[in-house]
Structure 1
Amino acid sequence: MLQRTILVVLLAAIAAAGVYWWLSAPVVAAASATPSRTPDLANGEVMFNAGGCASCHAVPNQPDRLRLGGGVAIKSPFGTFHAPNISPDPNDGIGKWTEADFVNAVMYGVSPSGQHYFPSFPYTSYQHARREDVLDLFAYLKTLPAVAGKVRDHDLGFPFHIRRNVGIWKRLFMDDRPFVADGSKSPQWNRGAYLVNSFGHCAECHSPRNALGGIIGSQRFAGGPNPEGEGWVPNITQKRLGEWSVKDLAYFLKTGELPDGDSVGGSMTRVIKNTSQLPDADLAAMAEYLKSLPPAEGPPRPARKQGS
């Protein structure tokens, strides 16, 4: 009887391990999904600025936002992530990557070696990008300076450091749906929706998250605790921005100035450095889309401590 019980337990454990291995396996694009094409470097630069690549990947404490040697520390409830080198350096950056490697990294969150990237890299938004835009971004990155130097490993505790677990997280929080234009809306609105929800990844910071780190869909764009642990990220639906005009929003994305004449602060200053480089037409499109977001009630903001 004991032997039979042990055998049943072993078989159940093997079956469970098999299911876990299958559920957590990386999913990548087929090689045929990246056909040869002539890249559009100007478009690649637009995607670079829309995606805010320099905010995380530029070497800290130096003035050149195009030196993408990485090193920015990104705090989270799960530990501290360190943004990697994505310069064209062949040893420490992405200089040896293929187009397929880059597509799999940006849209699927999978490294060239077949490991999951942690979702501090916002591929949950980038998955909605058009493949040709991702390839144009890759071509643009290859024109930037190569920067030598490896970035330190992430500082994550158990079990969050186990990359294989990210595969199950992806099944919970990635929908793998391409962006589809809304035929009832204007081309400008659709352009804004595309930029905000793909490369712009605005919801990644401006939405509250559940205990597993997934965005709470019903409160998307409704603000919440800063994922880095300091302060509060504002609600950007009409719940808070109802009095802003489309021009106010576009001007804010261009300059960082609020309608009342004040200026943005904190981590948003890094975002504005990127959006300020975008064409005015794209800023207007993003503003039109953001202005259309229906009011959404975010989580209650904690009361400020007396004297703070």
Structure 2
Amino acid sequence: MNSKWLWPSIIAVLLIAIWLYLPPGIDPVAVPADSDSIARGEYLVKAGGCISCHEGSEGEGGLSGSAAVESPFGTFYASNITPDPETGIGNWSGEDFIAALRHGRRPDGSFYYPAFPYRAYKGLSEEEILDIAAYLQSQPAISHSVAPHELPAWVGRWQMLGWNLLADWKEPGREMNDDPEIARGEHLVRNLGHCSECHSPRDALGIIQYRDEFKGGEIPDGHVEAIDAEALNSWTEEDLALFFLIGMKQDGEFVGGKMEPVIEHNTSQLTDADREAMAAFFKRGLPASP
């Protein structure tokens, strides 16, 4: 590169990086407090799998957090999402909730680590996010400080800028399915339920390999089963809907491990119609096995 362009180029790159690092501009919006919003929010919190991760440890209760999420990059601890103003989310505004769930940003503007599945939650509507906020802010406040993440020194929040850009580039664009039942199921599976986060393989940087979505994933203490079209080839939609209700597989065995609380707190709490929509997405909305 010609030396006269070196510094202008460096300055331009720095300015672009600073611009990308700035928090997203979100118009001020109030967290609703009416009973209808709270009721919808309760359902969405269950559909979103929030309880499975944020349920308080024994003696704490509520959604006071502390569950460990182990990964190749360290151990992350689920945060306190009760409305305690000091240790939880009691001071969050509507904009803070939107920034967190849509953009992976903390109230101070810094990045969340993707152990929090904001890349799946970005598909939620603003109304859904505010309903979730309404429910969470209506719950009892629990003062409980969660342990800091245990990460190697080379892992930092600032790196999430480049990580998110790369993840955006790798994530395929998708069109809404014309079948409203399948479209509803896809929203429950890909966005609220964020099933891809555990059931898909990841590359060396921890980014989902979307070409192999639902083909199974790896966790530090084991393998996560595949739930793609091939793996579910012999399952009927009725089998899947029943599995989402009681956690029973085709062979009569009941699911265990990390999937057990997902059934208990998430899928079993949904309406029959929503469980059937999820089953429809897996059976009719995914590409057929080759």
TM-score of the superposed pair, with normalisation by structure 1: 0.84
Q: Does 1:51 align with 2:45?
A: no
User: Residues 62 and 258 (structure 1 numbering): CA distance in 2 closer, same or farther, change over 3 Å?
Assistant: farther
Matched, 1:31 2:27: yes
- Pairing partner for 1:170 from 164, 173, 178: 164
> Which residue matches 2:136?
141
Which consecutive residues of structure 1, in runs of 5 or more, have no partner in the other structure?
298-308
Residue 243 of structure 1 corresponds to 234
Partner residue of 1:286?
Answer: 278
Task: For 2:168, give the aligned amino acid.
Answer: M
1:159 shift after superposition: 2.2
Task: Give the secondary structure class of the aligned counterpart of 1:118.
Answer: coil
Of residues 230, 233, 248, the one that matches 2:224 is: 233
Deviation at 1:295, TM superposition (A): 4.5
Give the aligned partner of residue 121 of structure 2: 126
Contact 1:43–1:136 (CA under 8 A) maintained in structure 2: yes
Deviations 1:214-257 (A, max 9, x none): 1111001111212xx11111110121110101111111111111
Contact 1:26 1:110 (8 Å CA) reproduced: no
Instruction: Give the 3-state SS of the residue equivalent to 1:244 in structure 2.
Output: coil
Q: In structure 2, how many angstroms separate the alpha carbons of the residues matched to 1:289 and 1:126?
A: 18
Any idea what SS the aligned residue of 1:80 has? strand
Kindly provide the amino acid, as one letter, of the partner of residue 30 in structure 1: I
Q: CA deviation at 1:22?
A: 3.8
SS, match of residue 169 in structure 1: helix
**Structure 2 Cα separation of the partners of residues 22 and 28 of structure 1:** 10
Provide closer, same or farther for how the CA distance between residues 180 and 218 of structure 1 changes in structure 2, counting only shifts above 3 A: closer
Percentage identity across aligned positions? 39
1:20-75: per-residue Cα shift (whole Å, max 9, x none)?
Answer: 4344x04424215x4786652222112111111111111123595xx011111110
CA contact (8 A) 1:128 1:177 kept: no
1:210 counterpart = 2:203: yes
Quick one: distance in 1 between partners of 2:129 and 2:146?
24
Conserved? CA contact 2:90–2:137, under 8 Å = yes
Partner Cα distance (2:232, 2:223) in 1: 16
Q: Tell me which residue corresponds to 1:92.
A: 87
Note if 1:42 corresponds to 2:39: yes
What TM-score comes out, normalization by structure 2 length? 0.89
User: How many aligned residue pairs are there?
Assistant: 283
Cα distance change on mapping 1:221 and 1:158 into 2, 3 Å: same
Give, in angstroms, the shift of residue 106 of structure 1.
1.1
Task: Kindly report the root-mean-square deviation, in angstroms, between the aligned alpha carbons of the 2 structures.
Answer: 2.6
Q: How far apart in 1 are the matches of 2:89 and 2:73? A: 26
